[in-house]
Amino acid sequence: MNLKDWLSKQSQLYLNQTLPDDTPTKSIHPVSGEWQNSPSMNSKFWWGGGASEEACKQIELGENAADLTQVAVITFGPVQTFLGGGQRLRDWAVASWLCHYLSAVLIYRWEEAGGKVLLPLHQSSELINWLWGTTSGTEKFWQAELPNVVTGLYPDEPDWLQRREAVIKDEWQRFLAALEDSAIDQDPRLLNGQGWRVIHLDHQYLWSVYAESTSINMATVSEDIDKLHKRIESRKIGRQWQGTWWGGRTSPRDGCLSIWHPGLRLIYQGGTWGLPDDQIKSWWERATQESKFQGLFSQSDRLNSIELVKRLASVPEIIEPTLERLWDKTPPNCPWERFPDRTAAAAAWVTSQMQENPDLHAHLRNQWNQKLTNLEKDYFSRAKKKSKWGMPLADQAGFHPSRQGNFCWRGRFFIVRAFD
């Protein structure tokens, strides 16, 4: 099987016409059908209907194409649940990248075993190219882009697809083991202990993997792939859930998972209904006041095992050595310490509101900054007396950027000197 086989039907539409034998030097517009100059998007065939050199290069099947007689669709989840658990914008962003990472590793393992991934188009992925050793990577390495659904070809060998299904769970457990070592290296007094068993066992049941396949029939390949997707969706609707029952207080955002602490035990291994509240509170206070990562947690955090992994993975000093442990190569520098927190996001909103009203800018600038200076002194002095200030006070008062314009004056105008 080669690329022309995939486009043979389209070729037949032009059999009654005389077409040049040479390679096109122009590209055909995919909507209007007009030929035009575009060196980067040259058409592959005169009869190619917009199939460009670049697009065909990304799905080139290679020398072993004749052996790839099966087509499969594979996906994993629950992605939305994994993305949704967390308290910070960074939790969501890092969770997206971790899903992207799993997809990249699945694609890498698929093609490493002799298969060919058709979708998603991944040849330009910095992460996948880094796995292959063809690039050292840039900051794009840390951008999530790959979906959690993969369509690919593979040889008709016993258990070939089943071994690819196991990649998600196996690689995720491998990732957690490396993350544990890297986190303990950074702060062994805080992050070591029995609680890591909770993380490994909870995550053992986190991902569900679904795969469907069929033999390739060139006449019906598009319809067959669509049917594979539908079969997977029907299986997901009736999926069976598995999990563990921990002897701990329930996480605020997941009634099936306990608040994480280092001494958590399974209920059938002597675990009780969690540590007393004062001990849980004490651990999270130490995490915010005595840890090397004081800014990583807040005293109000009560994260479960899945949320804790995402929070730890957001630390460049942890995620970089984790990847190096896994793949024996150094990843590019992680930029996540620059990811904006709620304060920065709110400040950007305030600034944008004022910039959209330039007539008010000059009049309000001095008044604004004087108010900020006075409030800064007031709240910092009160903070020494253990009273709330800044974002915690604004949250308590219930003012948020999505509300009305009085946000600037009543809720969080003390957060930044926006017009210096």
CATH number at residue 236: 3.30.70.2220
- Of 154-158, 183-187, 272-276, the one with minimum mean pLDDT is 272-276
User: Do 160 and 232 belong together in one domain?
Assistant: yes
**Torsional class of 210: left (φ above 0), alpha (ψ -120 to 50), beta (otherwise):** beta
pLDDT of residue 293: 73
- CA-CA distance, 28 to 37, in Å (whole number)? 9
User: Do 19 and 89 belong together in one domain?
Assistant: no
Domain that holds residue 330: 65-336
pLDDT of residue 202: 80
| Burial grade of 386 (CB within 10 A; 0-12, 13-18, 19 or more) | exposed
User: Do 54 and 132 belong together in one domain?
Assistant: no
- At 293-307, the pLDDT tens digits run 767 888 778 888 888
Q: Are 81 and 243 in contact (CB under 8 A)?
A: no
pLDDT of residue 300: 79
Evaluate if residue 395 carries a pLDDT over 70.
no
Identify the three-state secondary structure at position 376: helix
* pLDDT band of 1, cuts 50, 70, 90: very low
**Per-chain mean pLDDT for the chain:** 76
Residue type, 415: I
Q: Which residues of 19-42 are buried (b: 16+ CB within 10 A; e: fewer)?
A: eeeeebeebbeeeeeeeeeeeebb
User: Do 238 and 353 belong together in one domain?
Assistant: no
User: Do 253 and 324 belong together in one domain?
Assistant: yes
Q: Which residue has the higher pLDDT, 271 or 283?
A: 283
- CA-CA distance, 241 to 338, in Å (whole number)? 37
Would you say residue 419 lies in a domain? no
User: Do 347 and 329 belong together in one domain?
Assistant: no
Would you say residue 415 lies in a domain? no
Q: Compute how many other C-beta atoms are within 10 angstroms of the C-beta atom of residue 268.
A: 9
How is residue 376 written in tokens? 């800064």
Q: Compute how many other C-beta atoms are within 10 angstroms of the C-beta atom of residue 120.
A: 16
pLDDT of residue 273: 52
Task: Please state the rounded mean pLDDT for residues 362-391.
Answer: 64
- At 242-273, the pLDDT tens digits run 666 555 666 666 666 777 766 666 655 666 55
pLDDT of residue 185: 92
Would you say residue 416 lies in a domain? no
Would you say residue 85 lies in a domain? yes
User: Do 225 and 257 belong together in one domain?
Assistant: yes
Would you say residue 418 lies in a domain? no
The continuous run of DSSP H or E covering 74 comes out as strand 70-77
Structural domain total, the chain: 3
Place of tokens 């066992």: 201
Q: Are 275 and 262 in contact (CB under 8 A)?
A: no
Residue type, 285: E
User: Do 240 and 269 belong together in one domain?
Assistant: yes
The residue among 316, 336, 356 that closes a domain is: 336
- At 51-97, the pLDDT tens digits run 666 666 655 655 566 678 899 999 998 888 888 766 677 888 899 99
pLDDT of residue 284: 81
User: Do 137 and 229 belong together in one domain?
Assistant: yes
User: Do 47 and 139 belong together in one domain?
Assistant: no
User: Do 142 and 246 belong together in one domain?
Assistant: yes
* pLDDT band of 328, cuts 50, 70, 90: very high
When computed from its CA atoms, the radius of gyration of the chain, rounded to whole angstroms, is 27
pLDDT of residue 404: 35
The residue among 307, 336, 365 that closes a domain is: 336
